[in-house]
Structure 1
Amino acid sequence: MPETQRSSHFGFRFVTPLALGSTLNPVNSTMISTALAPIAVAFSASVAQKGWLIAGLYLTSAIAQPTMGRLADLFGPRRVYLISLALVAIAGIVGALAPSLAVLVLSRVLLGVGTSGAYPSAMRIFRSQGDRHGMAPPRVAMGALSFAGIATTAFGPLLGGLLTGSFGWHAIFTINVPLAFLTACLVTLWVPKDDPRTASFSRLVQEVDLPGVALFSVALILLMTFLMNLDHPLWWTLPASAAFWIGVVIHSLKRSQPFVDVRMLAKNLPLTITYLRIMLFLMISYCVLYGFAQWLESSAHYSASAAGLITLPMSILAGICSLLAARTKGLKLPFVTSAVGGLIGCACLTFIHGDSPIWFVAAAAMFFGIPMGMTSTATQTAIYVQAPAAKIGTAAGLQRTFAYVGAIFAASLLGIVFGHKPSDSGIHALAIVMGCVSAFLLIFTFFDWTLPKGSLE
């Protein structure tokens, strides 16, 4: 059956609420990039303190995504989706009224929990419908999901800049309330209801693996604390984090359904490599989204609105590339093309300065739209074919966990290269680091034997 006919089971009405809900995390992740400067002024925050607004969301999402994915597998994706949307609305209200940076970080943490239910729930629904109809991976439908996420990721700085310039930085939190309400209405009307399920609190505790979540959370928090304070290293956090990571592994090996399934990662090498690859690609993307925006406002002295507009070519290219990746028959080409795009972008960044022509500044960032657009769609397809069918929700959530760890690394790297304030030398150093990572991804992916060969149609 042709791909377009197979995807008819995932019609517009069905895909739209899933795609809209999946945009909530990307748009909230990147809208704040152009608001970091005015937030810093409002609360007298340093670069490192601003970093907690970035890392706090991703830390929470890294923990919540697999948890929400497991809940979607167990109790129904539609139910989990609607609960998540309610949390998004509450987080929007808290953020809009935040009287301090600490409360603002708290709202981002709550937002991370709420937005974490959308993507694994959507993947669970896709897989259930695909298995029901005996379909191959619905790449067009997943391409629409990816396009929505990528478009909002890439257009986030533009939207954030316009909202901040017109209504102040509070607007980037307030906008979540109507978005969550609209998505909840569409999900209620258009997404098929879950099968009737009953579950006790004891089963919830047993299946979700709360001890595993706690171990993973402490290990990641300690690691992030070390990375976010590299200018004054808290050395004790490094061995403490290592001890908890060992605890995560030991606990995982003893439990039949662990939060982080170490056995699955060890046995399923293709899936593990997919996770590590998206972590590195997303580290590059978030370095650009946050670092480039801060440099534009602090070093090149553009307004928040202008900074958002300068990223428009990157946003457009990202959207185009996400659609192109959905039409490719294999996986290697999108990943290799993404690495090449990253290399070209890094080369361009090494030549920009605060007084560079605006067209050159926009062109330098534009090439990063290639990895932003292509890696998401290709990774979704890789997860679909590599993960066990019964654990697709959990696997999709774990994919986002690795992506958010990449974002945390990006926030830490920005703190190192920018110091107290973004500068030309800082953006050049950032370009060199990202260029080395892009080169590694290009060479490794080109020779990666774990990627499926041939067409996935």
Structure 2
Amino acid sequence: MTRAPVSAPAPGREAGGGFDRKLVAPMILGSILNPINSSMLAVALVPIGRWFHVSPAQTVWLVSGLYLATAVGQPVIGRLVDTFGPRLLYLWGTALVGIAGLTGLLAPNLDVLVASRVLLGLGTSAAYPASMFLLYAESERTGLRSPSGVLAALSISNQVSAVLGPTLGGLLIGAGGWHAVFAINAPLSAACLVLGARRLPRGRGAEPGRRLDVAGMAVFACMLTSFMLFLTNPATDRWYLPLIAVAAGAAFTVRELRTPEPFLDLRVLRGNLPLLATYGRQLLAYTTAYAFLYGFTQWLQDGRSLDASAAGLLLLPMSAAAIAVTGLTGRRADVRGKLLIGSVVQIAACVALLLVDAHSPIWVLALIGAVVGVPQGLNGLANQNALYAQADPTRMGSSAGLLRTFMYLGALIASAANAAFYRHGATTGGLHRLSWLLLGIAMLFLAVTVADRSLRRISSRKETP
């Protein structure tokens, strides 16, 4: 496997030595922008619906808009990171996050609010591929083949932000209404811009002779957007959307197989079955995770009659469990064991959801949240470590972006399922029907994990201190 060209060492850093710790803060802060915005919104959907007098089937576009933009933007921007280096894309992306936050704060109607979420999705698509690119560059410079300590820190920060998001969102809503959930992006963006400008290496510009596969990116965006638009509302009168997706997919395949410098090298992916399996597991794991995050949280407010702040606080055990599990297992090289435990516990959580009703004690609901936190702390970390070991180093940015694409495809399927089962509100019956679907997906996740023998071979040769 060809080694990737890397960015120049940060000023004052020589080749060799330890990982440049100055990079960690901008990497972590940038990469949490997406998960924290995804999860904060979980407790804001009901207040936003009441503010604009719209149903859950309409507010679901606040979720879908973010994921549509992110699923398309992550691999595209990841490829730009591979080509132009991480610094420029990181700064442009995080600046767009601030613009999106202000747009949402001032939104006069739901359509503008959805547009702000699309901008937010595009803006948050840059930091994670940039971070993975920097991580590999530092790994090459230091000779640490698998810097599991930094990988764990990146994963823990994403887990912390994702699981604390509902609690933070509830507190923000209690202090300043749902508008505060959007306004918080302005100071977060400013912090990223300052840290990124001061600490990220200037690296390289465009490589001489390298061409961007703009046509491939455009066809990929058309394929994915039409497919996901259908998923958000799979109705017979939208029959043309999957046809467009299939046609665009065929055109994309022909284009990528024929061009010398493709956006996504399908020939490499076709020969890398373990990586494809990792993408599939990511899709399944996060379909269940996001369906719970949004479905359970909306049910707590509508079906269990809690306010947004109380619903957010009730998810604190989930946050604590996810953080604890990620912290305890982050440096362990084992991937298969984490995925097996995560899938089994996910199945148990889905079964538990079938037993709750509007009169379930608060402590029972908190316990279910804690159980759900265990797979959230294991699955994302394991899939990230698997990708780091399996991806082509020359395409680390786009491969990492594609991992996020499958994550948000799962989130989009989850939001479509929530909209379908909560068409008339987040009722207990709707929650139970959703839970049956999630139980089937969790069992499929377990089966895929058991069948993947390549996971046994993933191990760490060297770790960061």
TM-score with structure 1 setting the length: 0.93
Residue identity matched to 1:363: L
- Over 3 Å counting, the alpha-carbon distance change for 1:48 and 1:183 in structure 2 is same
Per-residue displacement from partner, 1:296-347 (whole Å, max 9, x unpaired)? 1111110000000011000111111222331222210111111011011111
Q: Which of 354, 365, 369 is equivalent to 1:365?
A: 369
Per-residue displacement from partner, 1:177-234 (whole Å, max 9, x unpaired)? 101111222223333x22242579xx78x41x22222222222222223222236652
Match in the other structure for 2:77 = 68
In 2, Cα distance between equivalents of 1:264 and 1:426: 42
Alignment of 1:349-388 (within 5 A): 349-388=353-392
Match in the other structure for 1:184 = 193
- Over 3 Å counting, the alpha-carbon distance change for 1:236 and 1:187 in structure 2 is closer
Alignment of 1:101-112 (within 5 A): 101-112=110-121
Asked whether the 8 Å contact 2:57–2:422 carries over to 1, the reply is no
* Structure 1 position 214 matched with structure 2 position 226: no
In 1, Cα distance between equivalents of 2:268 and 2:422: 38
Per-residue displacement from partner, 1:1-51 (whole Å, max 9, x unpaired)? xxxxxx982354331221111110100111011000011112222222111
* Structure 1 position 144 matched with structure 2 position 144: no
Alignment of 1:29-108 (within 5 A): 29-108=38-117
Q: Which of 185, 191, 202 is equivalent to 1:194?
A: 202
Match in the other structure for 1:3 = none
Match in the other structure for 2:444 = 440
Asked whether the 8 Å contact 1:230–1:416 carries over to 2, the reply is no
- Over 3 Å counting, the alpha-carbon distance change for 1:362 and 1:216 in structure 2 is same
Q: Which of 174, 177, 184 is equivalent to 1:175?
A: 184
- Over 3 Å counting, the alpha-carbon distance change for 1:267 and 1:155 in structure 2 is same
Residue identity matched to 1:197: G
Residue identity matched to 1:190: R
The number of residue pairs the alignment matches comes to 446
Match in the other structure for 2:284 = 280
Match in the other structure for 2:231 = 227
Residue identity matched to 2:434: L
Residue identity matched to 2:108: P
Asked whether the 8 Å contact 1:48–1:229 carries over to 2, the reply is no
In 2, Cα distance between equivalents of 1:8 and 1:162: 43
Asked whether the 8 Å contact 1:27–1:153 carries over to 2, the reply is yes
Match in the other structure for 2:413 = 409
User: SS in structure 2 opposite 1:249?
Assistant: helix
Q: Which of 450, 456, 459 is equivalent to 1:455?
A: 459
In 2, Cα distance between equivalents of 1:196 and 1:328: 33
Residue identity matched to 2:315: T
Structure 1 ranges of 4+ moved more than 4 A: none
Over the matched positions of the two proteins, sequence identity in percent amounts to 39
- Over 3 Å counting, the alpha-carbon distance change for 1:45 and 1:261 in structure 2 is farther
In 2, Cα distance between equivalents of 1:169 and 1:86: 22
Residue identity matched to 1:94: T
Residue identity matched to 2:91: L
In 2, Cα distance between equivalents of 1:296 and 1:263: 47
* Structure 1 position 393 matched with structure 2 position 401: no
Q: Which of 268, 271, 280 is equivalent to 1:267?
A: 271
In 1, Cα distance between equivalents of 2:313 and 2:21: 30
TM-score with structure 2 setting the length: 0.92
Match in the other structure for 1:113 = 122
In 2, Cα distance between equivalents of 1:268 and 1:251: 20
In 1, Cα distance between equivalents of 2:294 and 2:281: 20
Residue identity matched to 1:179: L
Match in the other structure for 2:303 = 299
Q: Which of 10, 14, 28 is equivalent to 2:23?
A: 14
In 1, Cα distance between equivalents of 2:400 and 2:202: 19
In 1, Cα distance between equivalents of 2:25 and 2:438: 34
Per-residue displacement from partner, 1:387-436 (whole Å, max 9, x unpaired)? 11111111101111111111111111111222221111111111111111
Q: Which of 344, 349, 352 is equivalent to 1:345?
A: 349
In 2, Cα distance between equivalents of 1:157 and 1:233: 35
In 1, Cα distance between equivalents of 2:260 and 2:283: 26
Per-residue displacement from partner, 1:331-386 (whole Å, max 9, x unpaired)? 10111111011011111111111121111111112211122111222112111111
- Over 3 Å counting, the alpha-carbon distance change for 1:453 and 1:48 in structure 2 is same
User: SS in structure 1 opposite 2:79?
Assistant: helix
User: SS in structure 1 opposite 2:260?
Assistant: coil
In 2, Cα distance between equivalents of 1:450 and 1:363: 34
In 1, Cα distance between equivalents of 2:90 and 2:236: 41
In 2, Cα distance between equivalents of 1:124 and 1:180: 21
What is the deviation of 1:282? 0.8
In 2, Cα distance between equivalents of 1:219 and 1:420: 31
Asked whether the 8 Å contact 2:34–2:124 carries over to 1, the reply is yes
Match in the other structure for 2:317 = 313
Per-residue displacement from partner, 1:81-121 (whole Å, max 9, x unpaired)? 11111111111111111111111111111111111110000
Asked whether the 8 Å contact 2:83–2:206 carries over to 1, the reply is no
Unmatched segments (≥5 aa) in structure 2: 1-15
Asked whether the 8 Å contact 1:345–1:366 carries over to 2, the reply is no
What is the deviation of 1:452? 4.1
**RMSD across aligned C-alpha pairs, in angstroms?**
1.8
In 2, Cα distance between equivalents of 1:239 and 1:83: 34
In 1, Cα distance between equivalents of 2:17 and 2:173: 40
Unmatched segments (≥5 aa) in structure 1: 1-6
Asked whether the 8 Å contact 1:330–1:453 carries over to 2, the reply is no
* Structure 1 position 160 matched with structure 2 position 169: yes
What is the deviation of 1:55? 1.0
In 2, Cα distance between equivalents of 1:385 and 1:235: 40
Match in the other structure for 1:4 = none
In 2, Cα distance between equivalents of 1:291 and 1:231: 21
In 1, Cα distance between equivalents of 2:34 and 2:425: 27
User: SS in structure 2 opposite 1:367?
Assistant: helix
User: SS in structure 2 opposite 1:307?
Assistant: helix
